[in-house]
Structure 1
Amino acid sequence: MPLLRRLLRPDTKRSRSSMPRLEGRSTSAGVSVSPDRALQVAAVFSSVRLLAETGSMLPTGVFQRSGNSRLPAAEHPLAPLLTYQANPHLEAGEFWAQVLGWMLTRGNAAAYIERNNGGRPVGLWPVSWPGVEMRRVKDTGELFYKVTLDDDEWAPIREDGGLVRAENLLHFRSFGVGGAEGLSPIGMARQAIGTGWAATAYIGGFFARDASPGSTISVPGKLDDTQFERLLRQWNDNHEGFENSNRIGVMEGGAKWEKTTLSPADAQFLEVYKLTRSEIAGIYGVPPHMIGDVERSTSWGSGIEQQSLGYVIYSLMPWLTRLERTAQRLLGDPSLYLKFNPDALLRGDTTQRFAAYAQARQWGWMSVNDIRTKEDEPPIEGGDEYVVPLNMSPAGQAAPPEQRALPAPQRRAQEPVDAPSVEDLPNWITQHYEAISEFFAEQGERVLAALNLRPDTPAEDLIDRLADDEVLTEILLRLALGLVGQVGSATAAALGGTFAAQETAAAVGASAAATAANINGTTVEQLKSTIGLGQAPAEVRESVRNMFGQMTDSRARVLAQARVSQTSSFASHEGAKQAGAVSKTWRVWDANPRKTHQRADGQTVGMRETFTIGSKRGRWPHDYRLGVDEIAGCTCRLQFNREES
């Protein structure tokens, strides 16, 4: 059927510089090479099977980039299609095996994207490449595909005449040198494959038709029938069979025994066959020893782990990378991507594997449960802790906790240390203001652009809370890490100790995420009240523009000062705690303080205890636990004490 379609299809003109296509099948060996015939060559089948099966057996997952982090996106609605079930009749592993098989033979593979009435992909259906014809719209250059299914194929193609737009078909390409199609490995290497086919056919015919004897007995003169039968029977009776091997042969009447060998031409053809296997393995980038050609050694190392590593990196990964890049187009988000995990092919022996785990555990980048997960073992209680050597600390950071207690002679006098106030940090307020103001400006542009397209869009749909929370969290976290490092180190140094900023990273990150969610939530509520139902579209846009104009100025300034106050209070508290301060005292700095703060002036508690401020309890000024009424406009500070008061 595919051949008939090709014969009836109009010829397409190709550039003189284009590489030969698969349709060119003739070879110097006089053999016509097609994918089906090529797969009958053992080296081709072994190479294709090896790459397709090892690629399809690997675990796959959908992930999302979030700053420098890579987070699993298993809950994404398209993840099951790529990792579990491509369509109701085909699991994902078999789908990838078919795609790789077509790429390795035809150089191209196609998968039709089935969509539901809402436009969301609900199935991936592989389509044989001979039934796919690439076309372009002459005026725009837009690519589309003419898909014709064979009698034994089925796919839920809705488009009239099988004319499928590019966004509804995944086109997987192998290596190419231009043009929209990938080059067929079989089409490009048909001379070597044709030679391999010819060698295989010759060897089969050699054993089927060869009449050359294994040995000969020659006698002078001519034997009559009786003498001939007697000589043959006597020789077979004495030497035929395993039990008669290596017996002494007695010849009479001048008879002479000679063993025959292959002719030089026949022996050379066998060498050609062996050489062709190595060439075909090279075409697919497969090490010869992995398809049964063990006569030649490998330069990838002597151990199984080294050979597996070389195969994965140089042979398999280029094909997997092509699958991942094409599949990313289905996800429709640059931050989302498909990932094949080749770790299962790179597992060393038990000794090597456990030695690597021990090193990873010792240097702090794997926990006990991380290791147990790698070995498919269930987690254990307390197994999520990370450890590092006592003598290690990041460059430019403080020493580990065990090294922070300084000898008494090195400690400063035992006077209290005041925490810095927000007035002491004008540069940080400016940095926060500029970053938050820029975020509001970009957010406002997105909202106005959405209103230009759809003036009736509700406030909840104008702001992507998930995306904006993530962006603002990254901004606030970056600023907070710098501020915490500066304030925490200064406070600890004043107390004669050191500060490890990395120990506060989790708390700083949680605070940044909570603040970002609160800010964006407030913005949505402001949008609801700003957009009046009776306003004309132009009036709505003007109201929103004014709202974000105020946010980039006044609101950004208030948020910047509040954020610096909150973060610096936390940082000074953590710096004092790490440096060994044993208590803290609430101090009022405002000439006209709140009554609750005035009553708390001089209140001293332990470093891990809380102050009583009115009816609330908090760890430091601007602690969120005190509530907005006690935080807003507060200028109080902490005083840290090295000894109990």
Structure 2
Amino acid sequence: MPMIRRLFGGRTERNRKSLPRLDGKSTAAGVSVTPERALQVAAVFSSVRLLAETGSMLPTGVFEKSGATRLPAMEHPIAPLLTYQANPQLEAGEFWAQVLGWMLVRGNAGVYVERSNGGMPTGLWPVAWTSVEPRRVKETGELVYKLSLDDDEWAPIREADGLVRAENFLHFRSFGVGGSEGLSPIGMARQSVGTGYAANAYIGSFFQRDASPGGIVSVPGVLKDEQYERLTRQWKDLHEGFDKAHQLAVMEAGAKWEKTTLSPADAQFLEVYKLTRAEIAGIFGVPPHMIGDVERSTSWGSGIEQQSLGYVIYSLLPWLTRLERTTNRLFGDPSVYLKFNPDALLRGDTAQRFAGYAQAAQWGWMSVNEIRAKEDEPPIEGGDVYLQPLNMAPLGSAAPPAQRALPGRQQRADDTAETPSPEELPSWIQRHFEAISAFFAEQGDRVLAALGVAPDASADDLIDLSADNEALTEILFQLARSLTSEVGAATAATLGGSFAVEETTAFLAVGAASTAANVNATTVEKLRSTIALKAAPAEVQKSAREMFDGMTESRARVLAQARVSETTNFASHEGAKQSGARTKTWRVWDANPRKTHQRADGQTVGIRESFQVGKREGRWPHDHRLGVDEIAGCTCRLQFNL
């Protein structure tokens, strides 16, 4: 049995060296906190149930990355285990609920991977963490797991003595500060949980044994037995029962009524109980109002949609991300991954959803049938066509580039076109600024939260470059694609042609990824110098906060302007090229330009050729080939000629 193994087995030394254990430890409230006892505290049960159930109810999917493209990979042989049936006895939704439940209560969850003779996973079997003992092979440092199943557990374990290697065991960890196991939220906050349990027990016994009267009738002198019985009977007949409340009370012989209240100590204890609920909600990162504590104001937003968004981003997503990253080990291929879809929790009201759908259709990244599928409506004929903003024609219906500017076409407006300046696109600069600033702010919040737990953590530990690069790449790519679509179409229309934005997707994706990697690498370097002050934790946090505050303002604005300038030049160049422009001319718009740019002014080259600017060559202003010295602060534009 697990308890016997803990008493006589080999786990005592490991637990003695670890942070406070979950089992068998008393608290200042005189309560020994165990998982079963902790779940009897309403706030603990509500928090665990909320996170486990909302996480397990979300749709899951398996996808494959190919460059900037994400394609469904539901035909993968492992996909059914994660999305439909984890094993013959357990469907996928209940599987994820069990895994999340163990992580939330014990800080760890284990899943045994059943494999076929060919090594392919054929079943996923959750194992109670009390039946798992992580071990390390001294010679190699390899992590293995000793599984000793209890009587009511079963899994098709093939390994001798239950010693399972890491590739056949998924170990889901909650937050931890080293070691092979995650920290139990309940174990680390046992004092608050114990106080909550004691408060709950005290309140129950208070109502069970309390003999405090609701009020007192006092009379001068001493009543005879007959007078006492008459007064008591008369008072009950007139006022006892909810249907007789607030009736007129007639007092005689100098009798007076005095209402009693809770003692100050009892009233204060009830306040402690209420405060403990909010503390327990904070342990699990759950907004108090979602577990019934609605007495205090919330900063999670004013509407249901905003509150749901805050819950998904700050409470649920960290747990889902841990599930995804650990599960991805099953695929053995970094391009294939599991993804939980929280969109079902973020649905706004009808007007907001339809406004979002309209924008998605207008900008060509969702078709009518994709929108109808999200509303559980059947597809319609012709609903798989994507539209583009210029004239809402079917995407890709434009003529080939060589035929887009044939002489004599009626829609041709002019023989030349110019690149718009960033000043002519203030809304795009603001849109870039807001998105980049929000990314920096969220990144800063994560860093500060991590510093609060581990004040001596390094910059590399505080920032997950892989995840942040992917997130920022997606933000920059979507912005660049939309801006390119607008500017490219406008330039093409000026020259009498049309523009297909999909022909630029690969270039935009590479550029976004490169910029994201550079930005986040710079952030890590800046953070490394900021927190390496050998100062007190509070001063380190203050320095980091000031750093990210500056990034959300000045750095985000500079980056926004640079991205708009670079993308605008590229988009107008592609729009002109697709419309059949034959040459391009470098134009200087600065009253005091660089000497290299002044010498390049008026230089005309073929549309596919490069300009000579100083000692470098570039296809357009802000082309990365020109180098930082020629790009920074540049306001030059291009003129395109048919």
Kindly report which structure 2 residues correspond to 1:356-505, keeping only aligned pairs within 5 A, or say none: 356-390=356-390, 405=409, 498=497, 500=499, 502=501
Contact 1:86/1:125 (8 A) holds in 2: yes
**Per-residue deviation, 1:19:** 2.6
Inter-partner Cα distance in structure 2 for 1:248 and 1:270 = 33
Amino acid at match of 1:129: W
**Per-residue deviation, 1:254:** 2.0
Inter-partner Cα distance in structure 1 for 2:109 and 2:53 = 16
TM-score (norm 2): 0.63
Amino acid at match of 2:174: S
Calculate percent identity across the aligned residue pairs: 74
SS of 1:7's equivalent in the other structure is helix
Q: Which residue of 2 aligns with 1:29?
A: 29
Inter-partner Cα distance in structure 1 for 2:259 and 2:271 = 22
Inter-partner Cα distance in structure 2 for 1:500 and 1:341 = 33
Q: Which residue of 1 aligns with 2:295?
A: 295
Q: Which residue of 2 aligns with 1:337?
A: 337
Q: Which residue of 1 aligns with 2:147?
A: 147
Amino acid at match of 1:500: F
Q: Which residue of 1 aligns with 2:630?
A: none
Q: Give deviations 1:211-240, integer Å, cap 9, x for gaps.
A: 011111112222221111111111112222
Amino acid at match of 2:210: D
Kindly report which structure 2 residues correspond to 1:58-77, keeping only aligned pairs within 5 A, or say none: 58-77=58-77
| 1:136 paired to 2:136 | yes
**Per-residue deviation, 1:147:** 0.4
Inter-partner Cα distance in structure 2 for 1:503 and 1:99 = 41
Contact 1:22/1:187 (8 A) holds in 2: yes
Contact 2:403/2:580 (8 A) holds in 1: no
**Per-residue deviation, 1:411:** 6.9
SS of 2:357's equivalent in the other structure is helix
Amino acid at match of 1:300: W
**Per-residue deviation, 1:381:** 1.2
SS of 1:150's equivalent in the other structure is coil
| 1:346 paired to 2:342 | no
Contact 1:372/1:379 (8 A) holds in 2: yes
**Per-residue deviation, 1:10:** 2.8
Q: Give deviations 1:536-583, integer Å, cap 9, x for gaps.
A: xxxxxxxxxxxxxxxxxxxxxxxxxxxxxxxxxxxxxxx999769xxx
Inter-partner Cα distance in structure 1 for 2:379 and 2:76 = 25
Q: Kindly name which structure, 1 or 2, has the bigger radius of gyration based on alpha carbons.
A: 1
Of the structure 1 ranges 295-304 and 106-115, higher mean CA displacement relative to structure 2 is found in 295-304
Q: Quickly say closer, same or farther: Cα 1:577–1:345, change in 2 above 3 A.
A: closer
| 1:46 paired to 2:39 | no
Inter-partner Cα distance in structure 2 for 1:283 and 1:576 = 57
Kindly report which structure 2 residues correspond to 1:245-256, keeping only aligned pairs within 5 A, or say none: 245-256=245-256
Q: Quickly say closer, same or farther: Cα 1:501–1:383, change in 2 above 3 A.
A: closer
Contact 1:390/1:402 (8 A) holds in 2: no
Amino acid at match of 1:153: E
Inter-partner Cα distance in structure 1 for 2:287 and 2:150 = 35
**Per-residue deviation, 1:131:** 0.6
Q: Quickly say closer, same or farther: Cα 1:408–1:358, change in 2 above 3 A.
A: closer
SS of 1:70's equivalent in the other structure is strand
Q: Give deviations 1:478-533, integer Å, cap 9, x for gaps.
A: xxxxxxxxxxx9xx99xx86463547689xxxxxxxxxxxxxxxxxxxxxxxxxxx
Q: Which residue of 1 aligns with 2:617?
A: none
Segments of structure 2 that go 5 or more residues without pairing to the other structure are: 417-487, 506-575, 582-642
Q: Quickly say closer, same or farther: Cα 1:406–1:257, change in 2 above 3 A.
A: same
TM-score (norm 1): 0.63
Inter-partner Cα distance in structure 2 for 1:281 and 1:410 = 65
**Per-residue deviation, 1:244:** 2.7
**Per-residue deviation, 1:24:** 5.7
Inter-partner Cα distance in structure 2 for 1:401 and 1:214 = 90
Q: Quickly say closer, same or farther: Cα 1:398–1:576, change in 2 above 3 A.
A: closer
Contact 1:21/1:183 (8 A) holds in 2: no
Inter-partner Cα distance in structure 1 for 2:166 and 2:146 = 10
Q: Which residue of 1 aligns with 2:234?
A: 234
Amino acid at match of 2:499: A
Inter-partner Cα distance in structure 1 for 2:375 and 2:97 = 26
Amino acid at match of 2:364: G
Inter-partner Cα distance in structure 1 for 2:401 and 2:297 = 52
Q: Quickly say closer, same or farther: Cα 1:115–1:11, change in 2 above 3 A.
A: closer
SS of 2:20's equivalent in the other structure is coil
Q: Quickly say closer, same or farther: Cα 1:399–1:27, change in 2 above 3 A.
A: farther
SS of 1:171's equivalent in the other structure is strand
Inter-partner Cα distance in structure 2 for 1:292 and 1:134 = 38
Contact 1:392/1:400 (8 A) holds in 2: no
Amino acid at match of 1:75: E
Segments of structure 1 that go 5 or more residues without pairing to the other structure are: 413-488, 507-574, 581-645
Amino acid at match of 1:171: H
Contact 1:219/1:253 (8 A) holds in 2: yes
SS of 2:212's equivalent in the other structure is coil
Inter-partner Cα distance in structure 1 for 2:414 and 2:335 = 51
Q: Which residue of 1 aligns with 2:82?
A: 82
Q: Quickly say closer, same or farther: Cα 1:230–1:116, change in 2 above 3 A.
A: same
Q: Which residue of 2 aligns with 1:185?
A: 185
Q: Quickly say closer, same or farther: Cα 1:248–1:398, change in 2 above 3 A.
A: farther
| 1:167 paired to 2:167 | yes
Contact 1:391/1:400 (8 A) holds in 2: no
Q: Which residue of 1 aligns with 2:433?
A: none
SS of 2:183's equivalent in the other structure is coil
**Per-residue deviation, 1:53:** 0.2
Q: Which residue of 1 aligns with 2:312?
A: 312
Q: Which residue of 2 aligns with 1:269?
A: 269
Q: Which residue of 1 aligns with 2:551?
A: none
The runs of 4+ residues in structure 1 deviating greater than 3 Å are 11-18, 391-394, 397-412, 496-506, 575-580
Q: Which residue of 1 aligns with 2:244?
A: 244
Q: Quickly say closer, same or farther: Cα 1:219–1:80, change in 2 above 3 A.
A: same
Kindly report which structure 2 residues correspond to 1:528-547, keeping only aligned pairs within 5 A, or say none: none
**Per-residue deviation, 1:39:** 0.2
**Per-residue deviation, 1:26:** 1.3
Q: Quickly say closer, same or farther: Cα 1:13–1:96, change in 2 above 3 A.
A: same
Aligned residues: 432
SS of 1:61's equivalent in the other structure is strand
Amino acid at match of 2:148: T
Q: Which residue of 2 aligns with 1:156?
A: 156
Q: Which residue of 1 aligns with 2:431?
A: none
